[in-house]
Amino acid sequence: MLTRLKDAIDVLRPRTAARTRAAVDAAGATLSQVQERLGQVQERLGQLQTTQGEVLSRIDALTRTVDEMRLGLGELRAVARRDAELDDSLDGLAALCDEARLTAHVRSAIAAAPLVLEPFPHAVIRDFLPKDFYAALIRGLPPVELFGSAADAKPQLTVPFSVGPIFSRRIWKYFVTDVVPRMMQEELVAKFRAPLEEWIAANWPALAANPLGPPVELQTAEGRILLRRRGYVIRPHRDPKWGFLTVIMYLARKGDNAEWGTQLYSVDEDRTARGAAPHWIDPAQCHRMVDVPFHRNTALALLNSWGAHGASIPPDAEPPDLERYIYQFRIGPSAESVRALCDMLSGEELAAWAGKLGTY
């Protein structure tokens, strides 16, 4: 292009041609510099892309280091001690995490569990997981030191956790990222399909023809390991409303007392919860109808609709250092689905579902 421009300059008057040619030469020099600079930028971008994976890896390592720095010496010692104890267990981890075997077992266990409609839809699922996989989850429970001090009334760990023994992190991450959403969710939704569709249709009449179709997209969320000690009490309540299904998996260890599981209540003059936070109910309105024992490898799944559930451990329960573990997760609409469902509500209906999601 600049060559053609120079040829055209030759038809101009000599003085004008000289000035114009000089300007073109300067522009050509500038263009060369720009092209050279662009080449340098492209080279640098290539270097950045090459090192992106390394940078992300370093960020992950730094995050883990920061997490570990928050721990005290006692917690670090507990993790190191458990790491040594579980070292031999790592070799058999791949065999335990056999997807086909786990999927078949989980689906069979959920299908075999009766769906009970009173005092509200729930199912007690026995032998929820293959015995060896369940034993591995128990073996991989994080050291109690990671749950905080004994004075903490409601200690818990969100899963997956970034700090803990290698075996614990791997088995629990696999459980919450593969087993729960990919092997359990669909079967649990199928088990509760009729009452769940009825519940959705009652709150969103426009969806009555296909309650589990768009815009309802379900996902698993809020997975956490809860540690309970003697004296623990959670009074009758319903969970946050956007968790349509709650699943409580009893992580009973050998020797744990089967008492002090979960109590299910009917409620006098029951009414829908107002807002998205947990719905606490006056115990005087509640009538205990079901006592679900704290059995090994058992899960309680419930529709978070009516009635109430609660739990307690006597203050004089033995032993004095009693530790009771459960894993809890919920199945409910994705964030995008929540927004779409809220857009379908107005006035008092919207107020019944609005508010910041709470926990307890």
pLDDT digits (tens, 9 = 90+) for 157-179: 999 988 899 999 999 999 999 99
Which pLDDT score, from 0 to 100, does residue 95 have?
92
**How many other CB atoms sit within 10 Å of the CB of residue 336?**
11
The count of domains in the chain is 2
* Same domain for 110 and 61: no
Highest mean pLDDT among 57-71, 155-169, 189-203: 189-203
What is the rounded (10 degree) CA torsion for 50, 56, 59, 65? -110
Domain boundary among 67, 83, 115: 67
Is 249 within a domain? yes
**How many other CB atoms sit within 10 Å of the CB of residue 20?**
16
Secondary structure of residue 53 in the 3-state scheme: helix
Of 243, 267, 116, 109, which is closest to residue 192 (Cα–Cα)? 116
pLDDT at 28 over 60: no
- Report yes or no: 333 and 217 within 8 Å, Cβ to Cβ: yes
pLDDT at 85 over 60: yes
- Kindly report, residue by residue over 255-271, the tens digit of the pLDDT: 999 999 999 999 999 99
- Report yes or no: 109 and 180 within 8 Å, Cβ to Cβ: no
* Same domain for 56 and 135: no
Alpha-carbon separation of residue 194 from 206, 218, 279 (angstroms):
17, 16, 24
* Same domain for 221 and 175: yes
Is 59 within a domain? yes
Average pLDDT on 208-231 reads: 94
Is 86 within a domain? no
CATH of the domain at 226: 2.60.120.620
Domain boundary among 15, 49, 67: 67
Is 175 within a domain? yes
Which pLDDT score, from 0 to 100, does residue 13 have?
45
pLDDT at 15 over 90: no
Mean model confidence pLDDT for the chain: 85
Of 282, 278, 280, 196, which is closest to residue 239 (Cα–Cα)? 278
Is 332 within a domain? yes
Confidence of residue 356 (pLDDT cuts 50, 70, 90): low
* Same domain for 121 and 49: no
**Sheet arrangement for strand 279-280:** 279-280, 233-238, 308-312, 262-267, 286-292
Instruction: Locate all alpha helices (DSSP H) within 113-209, ordered by sequence.
Output: 131-139, 166-174, 185-191, 193-203
Average pLDDT on 25-32 reads: 52
Task: Calculate the CA 282 to chain-centre distance.
Answer: 30
* Same domain for 40 and 149: no
pLDDT at 113 over 70: yes
* Same domain for 347 and 239: yes
Average pLDDT on 287-309 reads: 97
Confidence of residue 9 (pLDDT cuts 50, 70, 90): very low
- Residue 194: domain span: 96-351
64/193 Cα distance (integer angstroms): 41
* Same domain for 116 and 15: no
Is 313 within a domain? yes
Average pLDDT on 356-360 reads: 58
Is 91 within a domain? no
What contacts 274, CB < 8 A, 6 or more positions away? Answer: 351, 352
* Same domain for 39 and 130: no
* Same domain for 299 and 200: yes
Is 82 within a domain? no
